[in-house]
Amino acid sequence: MDILLAHGYFLYEDPHELKVMKPYPPLGILYISSYLKAKGFSVSIFDSTFRRLENFAEVLASQRPSVVGIYTNLMTKFNVLKMVQMCKAHGAVVVLGGPEPPYYAKDYLEHGADVIVRGEGELTLEELLPHLARQGLRELDAIAGIAFRRDDGQVIETPPREFIPDLSAHPWPDREGIDIPQYMRAWKDNHGASSVSVIHARGCPYTCTWCSHSVYGNTHRRRAPDDAADELLWIKERYNPDRIWYADDVFAINRRWFFQYHEALKQRGVRIPFECISRADRLNEPVVAALAEMGCFRLWNGSESGSQRILDSMQRKVDAEDVRAKTHLLQRHGIETGMFIMLGYEGEDMSDLDATVEHLKIANPDIFLTTVAYPIKGTPYYAEVESRVLANKAWAERTDRDLTVAGRRSRRFYSFATRWMVNEVALHRARTKGTAPLKRQLKMYANAKIGRLGMMLTSGESERPAQSPNAAAV
């Protein structure tokens, strides 16, 4: 075996994720697996989702991999640190990738990692694995796109590696390398409908200040429409899921591609109900009509705030009024609407919170999920507030979610603000619609409609502040 690929999302060790129970496979490492296998490497996958840490130790003992590559994000950090130590106990070289390690390379290397992959993993591992087999950890300076420690302790970051130019030349993710039906059963048993995830594009060209682009940068690359449609046809014939989750950062970002993809699906007779994430500025009447025809039953929109001042400060490049208009447009076409709302961004005051409540009342999304902004290292937002970032725990005992910003209101304030926001919107809806009982409208802490980790693991890409389990389903 040339490499064992793994990730640190253990569903049964996360009470919130168990409650939500909407897991998706780690498409990031499945893409790496299919690429390396196509290049002749021997690859094994440890899919942690339905397993436990002790199972990982058993795999290490039985398979004795010489190299272990682990996908890492801030939410799986603690598990990954434990997995790193398990790997070292078995003498394996540990390679970490994903959105979290590049900006904390020194810390991860000090805690046992041998190599950090910066950016996409496929091309880097294709060069790194033969080097490790021949020379071990010596002369790693020649490998682009990594960070490592020299014998003297100095952390070296090699020049960045170019991105894969043609995603359609890349094989589809190695779904056969894991138990996809187990994911489908989890969905079916808990929600009455099975679901499979796909991703047809990499990267997001937008400039939202709080979102990390450490894997794909600010690029945006897409599979050819026919190639993407062929994959959907194969998924339909192989797994026949009830639903699809498009994990693209912004679905329908390119209208020409989108309509070509729509036509390609029709030619193949493929229509599977799906949900996706997009932006208001990428939607118009023809796009929304096509989404509905394709089977879109829910579209998530990163509204973030109802205050245009805050949206501009975030560099969202979106108009709050347009978000409201596109929400209504989607609903007219029978598509359920979801919004992401972020509280506590730099400079926000009570007038901005008031504007967000009014925004939600007018837009009237079917669902909205809330989060409190926190600085993710490597983002413009982090750079803006870095001098005021406070950490009350050692690095290995915290994630960026635990960071606070001096001068900002307390966590307790935002807990109350969230409750107030949810209740205000629910009360407004009850008064204006008079349909569902008020008690039902005010069910806070209801079902978060998507798993926060499940979403992130599907793409292996950008980290954004995760939506709170206190999300409103109103």
Q: Which two tokens stand for residue 387?
A: 């001098």
CATH code that applies to domain 193-459: 3.80.30.20
Read off φ and ψ for residue 259, nearest 5 degrees: -70, -35
Q: Residues 315-345: pLDDT tens digits?
A: 999 999 999 999 999 999 999 999 999 999 9
How many whole angstroms separate alpha carbon 315 and alpha carbon 93? 40
User: Average pLDDT of the chain?
Assistant: 91
Q: Which two tokens stand for residue 13?
A: 């060790």
Contact between 198 and 245 (Cβ < 8 Å): yes
Task: Write down how long the chain is.
Answer: 474
Q: Which two tokens stand for residue 24?
A: 């998706």
Q: Count the neighbouring beta carbons within 10 Å of the beta carbon of residue 10.
A: 20
> Residue 83: what pLDDT?
98
> Residue 463: what pLDDT?
58
Q: Residues 80-125: pLDDT tens digits?
A: 999 999 999 999 999 999 999 999 999 999 999 999 999 999 999 9
How many whole angstroms separate alpha carbon 137 and alpha carbon 424? 58
The yes-or-no verdict on residue 217 having pLDDT over 60 is yes
Residue range 370-397: average pLDDT?
95
Per-residue pLDDT band for 302 (boundaries 50, 70, 90) equals confident
- Burial label, 435 (beta-carbon count in 10 A; 0-12, 13-18, 19+): exposed
Domain ranges of the chain: 3-157, 193-459
Q: Count the neighbouring beta carbons within 10 Å of the beta carbon of residue 183.
A: 26
Choose the CATH number for 3-157 among 2.60.40.1180, 3.40.50.10470, 3.20.20.70, 3.40.50.280.
3.40.50.280
Q: Residues 140-162: pLDDT tens digits?
A: 999 999 999 998 989 999 999 99
Contact between 47 and 7 (Cβ < 8 Å): yes
> Residue 464: what pLDDT?
58
